[in-house]
Amino acid sequence: MKNTAPRLLALSVLLAALGAQAAEMPRIVARDGRHALMVDGAPYLILGGQAHNSSNYPAALPKVWAALDDAHANTLEIPVAWEQVEPKEGSFDFGYVDTLVNEARRHDKRLVLLWFGTWKNTGPAYTPEWVKFDNARFPRMIDKDGKTSYCLSPFGAATLAADRKAFVALMEHIKRIDGERKTIIMVQVENEVGTYGVGRDYGKRSAAAFAQPVPAAVLARRKPPAGRPATGSWKEVYGDYADHYFHAWAIAGYIEEIAKAGRAVYDLPMFVNNALRDPLPEPALPWKSDFASGGPTHDVLGIYQAAAPHIDFAGPDIYMPESKKVDAILRQFQTRENALMVPEMGNGANYARYLYQIIGKGAIGVAPFGIDYAEYSNYPLGSKFTDKRMVEPFARIYAAFAPLQRQWAQWAFEGRTRGVAEGDDRAAQDVELQGWKATLSFREFQFGERAYLKDKSEYASGTEQPSGGVAIAQVGPDEFVLVGQQVRVKFSGLAANAGKPALFARVEEGRFDADGKWVMERNWNGDQTDYGLNLPATPTVLKVRMGSY
């Protein structure tokens, strides 16, 4: 008989070597107050789309992929529902997840899974029936008057144990089927948590916790309002803010238990999303039934960080189209401690220009909601259209970024990028760069200045609604890559260039190829540069070099 030992050894060495080549684990990294989502060992920009709420079934996926492909998206965000994976307690079925991962690979997409568990838009709709209707075992919150609320209590020990068990089973399954390839790059734990109409749980366990001293980790991140004691019970320290802060701490602690257990099995980045409160006024006022109490609103991000260290960040779901509000939201959710990622945004055309602002600000990703041909529209939150017309405004912009997505993510992590969207007031905006200022104006004709027009009420066609935006990366002392549409860009000197006449050295229009190499198509000069760089309605990529004398 032949000795097969050497061949078996060779095989095991080969397998070990292949194992060593398994893709690196995705993770969020921070440097100098900026963040990157590392995928396969390099910064990754999520050009995402989120599927509709009921598209989490194999039969629904073809209409999701069709829209995602049309959108030039690189990542799909899609739910995995507790009710679907554990319809009977203790017996799990991950068939849908298997199909999803296989099809994502075929469509060359990464996945962000959304765990719809105890809370989906604050309610229990996605819990299995054996949870939904068993109020004794899985208690709901109790309001001030002793009435039972719709919302499951974060103090339900059995609810937490059951949700955690299902989530851990999911993470184990993901590790089994995707531990090598890493098609799944992130997981959202629960969806838009908090409670409408009730500030906190008034049940027994909750009431006892509410009377306890505020934990030091919370005090360190959320100072008491002026004039209040530095330590004491929640009510003593936080006064009118106490219910919302306490409820945030309770929900965040519950989510922490789930995320911690899931990551112990398979350590993917995890995050939460937020049904926003009005971003203004600042500082925020106490909760008055005007938003979901206890969700990760901007004013309690510190409490979430204290209570849920296994959650990497909280992302804003943007369904407020006003530019002033979008500005405030992006500022509030991009901090040294909180990576900016927009897990949801309206899919109406009026939101498309914000992609430039979000990507330019160095977000790790963005995903309009309802990028899916399921013949469902959430108008007036999003588009009335459910076909290609809905996808198109985002697709054009994603197509421009797609070839440079990895390079852009790297530049963003290095702090080289800025982004602007046209404001509702249509006013010009300045962006300070190193040694240069870019002045961005909107509604201009491409030739000449507004002052030359006889009829000052005339505007360029296609600018009836705000749709302009530009993202700028400073790639050298005098060199910039611009991606934008419907905007005029003028550069003037700052610092060493201040007060000197500035000229365009080169304005190359082109694209990045599949290897990230710049391919010049033409050089703009003459009429095309005499009145600034007038980017047309079609998203355009320019490589610009400035000079002064």
Contact residues toward ligand DGJ (CB under 6 A) are 53, 121, 191-192, 317, 344, 369, 378, 381
**Three-state secondary structure of 99-133:** HHHHHHHHCCCEEEEEEEEEEECCECCCCCHHHHC
Q: Which is nearer to ligand DGJ, 302 or 316 (CB)?
A: 316
Q: Which is nearer to ligand DGJ, 143 or 190 (CB)?
A: 190
Q: Which is nearer to ligand DGJ, 83 or 344 (CB)?
A: 344
Q: Which is nearer to ligand DGJ, 315 or 419 (CB)?
A: 315
Neighbours of 448 (CB within 10 A): 12
Is residue 311 within 8 A of residue 304, CB to CB? The reply is yes
- Minimum CB separation of residue 292 from ligand DGJ in Å reads 11
- Minimum CB separation of residue 239 from ligand DGJ in Å reads 31
- Minimum CB separation of residue 490 from ligand DGJ in Å reads 39
- Minimum CB separation of residue 116 from ligand DGJ in Å reads 8
Alpha carbon separation from 292 to 223, 242, 274 (Å, rounded): 22, 14, 9
Q: Which is nearer to ligand DGJ, 203 or 343 (CB)?
A: 343
| Closest residue to ligand DGJ using C-beta atoms | 378
Query: What's the token pair of residue 510?
Result: 């082109």
- Minimum CB separation of residue 56 from ligand DGJ in Å reads 11
- Minimum CB separation of residue 39 from ligand DGJ in Å reads 24
In 23-145, at which residue ranges do the beta strands (DSSP E only) sit? 27-31, 34-39, 42-44, 46-50, 75-81, 110-120, 140-142
Is residue 130 within 8 A of residue 85, CB to CB? The reply is no
Give the integer Cα–Cα distance in Å for 96 and 450.
57
Is residue 238 within 8 A of residue 245, CB to CB? The reply is yes
Sign of torsion over alpha carbons 178, 127, 124, 307 = negative
Residue at 310: amino acid letter: H
Query: What's the token pair of residue 226?
Result: 């002026």
DSSP 190: E
- Minimum CB separation of residue 369 from ligand DGJ in Å reads 6
Q: Which is nearer to ligand DGJ, 373 or 401 (CB)?
A: 373
Q: Which is nearer to ligand DGJ, 343 or 360 (CB)?
A: 343
Give the integer Cα–Cα distance in Å for 362 and 338.
12
The alpha carbons of the chain give a radius of gyration, in whole angstroms, of 25
Q: In what order do the strands lie in the sheet with 34-39?
A: 27-31, 34-39, 42-44
Q: Are strands 184-191 and 270-275 parallel, antiparallel or unpaired?
A: parallel
- Minimum CB separation of residue 132 from ligand DGJ in Å reads 18
Q: Which is nearer to ligand DGJ, 116 or 266 (CB)?
A: 116
- Minimum CB separation of residue 138 from ligand DGJ in Å reads 22
- Minimum CB separation of residue 121 from ligand DGJ in Å reads 5
Give the integer Cα–Cα distance in Å for 419 and 355.
9
* For helices 157-178 and 95-106, angle between their N-to-C axes, nearest 10 degrees: 40
What is the DSSP track for 458-489? ---TT-SS---EEEEEEEETTEEEEEEESEEE
Q: Which is nearer to ligand DGJ, 345 or 541 (CB)?
A: 345
Q: Which is nearer to ligand DGJ, 160 or 272 (CB)?
A: 272
- Minimum CB separation of residue 119 from ligand DGJ in Å reads 10
Is residue 77 within 8 A of residue 188, CB to CB? The reply is yes
Q: Which is nearer to ligand DGJ, 378 or 439 (CB)?
A: 378
